[in-house]
Amino acid sequence: MCGIIGYVGSRTALPLILEGLKNLEYRGYDSAGIAVISNDQLRIKKDVGRVDRLLADPNFNKTKGVIGIGHTRWATHGKVCVENAHPHTDCTEKIAIVHNGILENFRELKSELLKRKHIIRSETDSELIAHIIEEYLKIKPTFLDAFSEALKRLEGSYAILAIKADEKVILGAKKSSPLVLGVSEHGIFISSDIPSFLEHTKNVVYFHDGDIVKASPDGFNVFSNEAKVHRPIDTIDWDVEQVKKGDFDHFMLKEIMEQTETIQRAIQQDETIVKQISEAFKSAKGIFFVGCGSSYHACLAGSYVFSKISNLHVNVCLGSEFENFEHFLTPETLVVAISQSGETADTLGAVRVAKKKGCKILTIVNVMGSSLMREGEVSLLLKAGPEMCVLSTKTYTSQVALLTLLAFVVADRLEDGKNEMKKLWLEIYKLTSRTMREHIRKLAHPMINAEHVYLIGRGLQYTTALEAALKIKEVSYIHAEAFAGGELKHGTLALIEEGTPCIVFVSGENNKIIQNVHEIKSRGGVIIGVSPQQNEIFDFWIKVPEVGLLSSIIQIIPIQILSYYLAVLKGLDPDRPRHLAKSVTVE
């Protein structure tokens, strides 16, 4: 997802925007740019590649001015090039905008603007916003009025910031894309994500869809349906150190190590609320868990533990596919939507489908004030702190832990669940120890040249295999594929060749998987066992404790570490995998 940052206040804007863009790099991007108002003129610098390239121009670095906007772009409309990088300007080059989202009526708007003789310099849909504002400035008395009218022409999703050379304000708006305001002692920040300004303030304002904000050195006002509205200032409990790598080379390893703490925080929930949620599960006639990516795998793991602990059947659905099941939905259906960012477009779309059918909505998110949190009747926070690496590690295990806790609550065994998960702290500490990391690093060395890696499991171990395969392929670019052990003879064995690495997840209740391992071994596969017990068939053994129904939390951690080392040994950046963004906010 693209990153957006704006600043207006008493300090020089350029270094604050550069700092904000650096803090947004974890989201993934291919180009970056900044626009600053200096002496009633726009000073703009943009380039392909890293934010650091913006520092290469010594003249631009001297730019003064207390108002500016910045952007890191992840290409959707148009190729990766300087012309398509943000900010974009209108024909007069007096208006500059940055935009995250998709304009669905892009072709219609572009055709209209070309007929009006506008000069369109890029292939993006975003640039059109600046030209539409320019058009309305011809007939509207103020910049805010023109901006508001322009928004009415946009179909699709957006988070937008706009500045005008001779105006001392930043205008912002959101619809189905994240935008949050930070209130510091020296000025106002408006951004797509809190880490961009966390070093300056923990005081934030969350916007509703359709809100328009006008920020100036004197403060801010929020408007909805052309009327001024009140949006409260909240204080977040994130620590600025959580958005820094500290002594770690990469955020990914830092966040893997943090799981000793984040699992405990995830289960520290208000007992009154979780018991209220328990009643919603018990009274529901039909339950759906909905998520995307790692959150979807957490949903799958949750469906197994709900079956085993609570004797409840749960339907699991990808956010992007949920609309195909809307004819099953009724006001008695409970939909549990899960997302790290709370801004995942497909998950939000699923929730809106469910709300039209009158379903009860529970959301599980990591970001307070996120869109998904506001869509839910009840929402639970993961409390994992900011996850800066594009890959989900600590938030995935927090999601599984929280769903497992809810399963215990529904079974009227809350204290049992909390006590069981408290035992995980020491086990996770052992799994992330230097000794274990070095053991796994030895495995990574011979695997870096593999073209394919296959992973198998049964039951909860199958859900772990799915998440493990995702971790390997998204960070190391090695093709990894997971299968249920019982499916091997239904075609998958044809893929096994001499020397093919195969990772098998074993638990006490699913020893049947060893027979599947023999089938792979007899065809030349190299067996990597993730298991409480050594087995002579393993070529490499990663020892994990036997924790029963909590195995989805424990067994994924060694593969998170393996994935990290596969990337590092291949010379890749594990924090920023190619083509991927932290939050997928467009469908």
**Residue for token pair 């408290």:** 422
CA distance 338 to 90: 39
Q: Is 79 known to be catalytic? A: no
Burial 268-280, CB ≥16 within 10 A → b, else e = ebeeeebeebbeb
| Marked catalytic residue, from 94, 214, 360, 582 | 582
391, 393, 394, 397: CA torsion to nearest 10: 130
CA nearest neighbour of 475 among 399, 390, 384, 395 = 390
Prior bond to 574 cis, omega within 30? no
How far is 14 from 66, CA to CA, in rounded Å?
8
Residue 438, judged by CB atoms within 10 A of its CB (0-12, 13-18, 19+), counts as exposed
Torsion-angle region of 210 (φ positive above 0: left; ψ -120 to 50: alpha; else: beta): left
Residue 477, classified by CB atoms within 10 Å of its CB into exposed (0-12), middle (13-18) or buried (19+), is middle
Contacts (Cβ under 8 Å, ≥6 apart) of 61: 14, 55
As a residue count, the chain comes to 587
Q: Cα separations (Å) of 239 from 3, 202, 254, 387, 415?
A: 21, 9, 15, 12, 29
38-43, Cβ contacts within 8 angstroms, sequence gap of 24 or more: 38/63, 38/64, 38/65, 39/65, 40/165, 40/166, 41/165, 42/89, 42/93, 42/94, 42/96, 42/163, 42/165
Nearest-angstrom CA–CA distance, 274 and 405: 9
Spatial distance between the Cα atoms of 427 and 422, rounded to a whole number of angstroms: 10
Cα angle for residues 475, 451, 26 (degrees, 5° grid): 10
Q: What is the DSSP secondary structure assignment for residue 27, as one 8-state letter?
A: G
Written as one letter, the residue type at 23 is: N
Separation of alpha carbons 565 and 559, rounded Å: 10
Q: Can you point out the beta strands (E) in 420-489?
A: 452-457, 479-484
What residue ranges in 375-496 does DSSP mark as E strands? 378-381, 452-457, 479-484
DSSP letters of 63-130? ---SEEEEEEE--SSS-SSTTTSSPEE-TTS-EEEEEEEEETTHHHHHHHHHHTT----SS-STHHHH
**Helix 414-422 vs helix 271-283: crossing angle, to nearest 10:** 120
**DSSP structural state of residue 306:** I
Residue among 2, 292, 299, 317 flagged as catalytic: 2
> Does the annotation mark 582 as catalytic?
yes
298 secondary structure, DSSP code: H
**CB burial readout 496-511, b (16+ within 10 A) else e:** beeebbbbbbbbeebe
| Of 278, 162, 256, the residue nearest 213 (C-alpha) | 162
Kindly list the catalytic residues. 2, 582
